[in-house]
Amino acid sequence: PSSKGVTLDPNCYRPISILPCLSKVFESQVNKQITDHFESHCTFSAVQSGFQAGHGCTSATLKPQPGDLIEIFRGTYQHWALYVGEGYIVHLCPPTEAAGAGAYSLVSVLCDTAVVTKESLEEIVGKDRFLVNNLLDGKHKPRSVYDILRDARSLLGLEMPYCILRGNCEHFVTELRYGKGESRQVYYALGVGVRAVAIGLKALNAASNISCVKSKQKRILL
């Protein structure tokens, strides 16, 4: 209904277009071709929410503001950056970090230095998905936007030590926003590794116990 009123009154409803099945198929194919063309030529802006899969009203209300942390999903890991306004980000960038780098970007674990750079959010995101994620706001009080941006700009062009466990891109941006560098990505990865080792040890222990029981049963039978 276009507004509150009598539901049986036709004037309370907006008109709709009822298309034949063939027209719907044609419309779907045209839409797919146009969308594929725009995506292949990177016509869509990284901060555009309309006409993009995975975007909508929610993402439109979460436009980045200066000082926000940006989480970029690269498939097997997440790259982190700090939004500084006007479509630009500052991030700690290993030589292999780039949009569309794919598995090659994993070589960053071997890098021991990275450079603080300011680049366009749209260029760094590419065809990947991103979101605003100030993930530690509930744990630490964010610093003032002025201090965050001042410190970020003061580090531009600086080559810094890089370590996937102690000094990665997530450590860098959380240090700027909260004054404390943390990486939930590393925390979760280590947690998974520890659980995997624990499960393996339990399995070995269970196998050892079964072997001991069978050995005792054989001796009793003898």
Residues annotated as part of the active site: 79, 91, 169
Verify that 132 and 218 share a domain, yes or no: no
> 206 lies in which domain range?
188-222
Beta strands in the chain (DSSP E): 69-73, 78-85, 88-93, 113-120, 129-132, 159-161
Structural domain total, the chain: 2
Verify that 120 and 152 share a domain, yes or no: yes
How does pLDDT run across 119-172, given as a tens digit for each residue?
A: 999 889 888 889 999 989 999 999 999 999 999 999 999 999 998 888 899 999
Asked if residue 18 belongs to a domain, the reply is no
- What Rg do the C-alpha atoms of the chain give, in angstroms? 26
Contacts by residues 49-57 (CB-CB < 8 Å, ≥ 24 positions apart): 54/129
Nearest to 43 by CA among 122, 121, 119: 122
How does pLDDT run across 79-115, given as a tens digit for each residue?
A: 999 999 999 999 998 887 766 555 545 556 678 899 9
Asked if residue 59 belongs to a domain, the reply is no
Asked if residue 80 belongs to a domain, the reply is yes
Verify that 90 and 131 share a domain, yes or no: yes
| Dihedral over Cα of 72, 78, 84, 90: its sign | negative
Asked if residue 5 belongs to a domain, the reply is no
Verify that 98 and 77 share a domain, yes or no: yes
Verify that 148 and 220 share a domain, yes or no: no
Asked if residue 34 belongs to a domain, the reply is no
Asked if residue 81 belongs to a domain, the reply is yes
How does pLDDT run across 188-211, given as a tens digit for each residue?
A: 766 544 444 444 545 555 555 555
- Provide φ and ψ at 138, rounded to 5°: -80, -15
Q: CB–CB of 91/123 below 8 Å? A: no
- Provide φ and ψ at 206, rounded to 5°: -65, -40
Verify that 153 and 111 share a domain, yes or no: yes
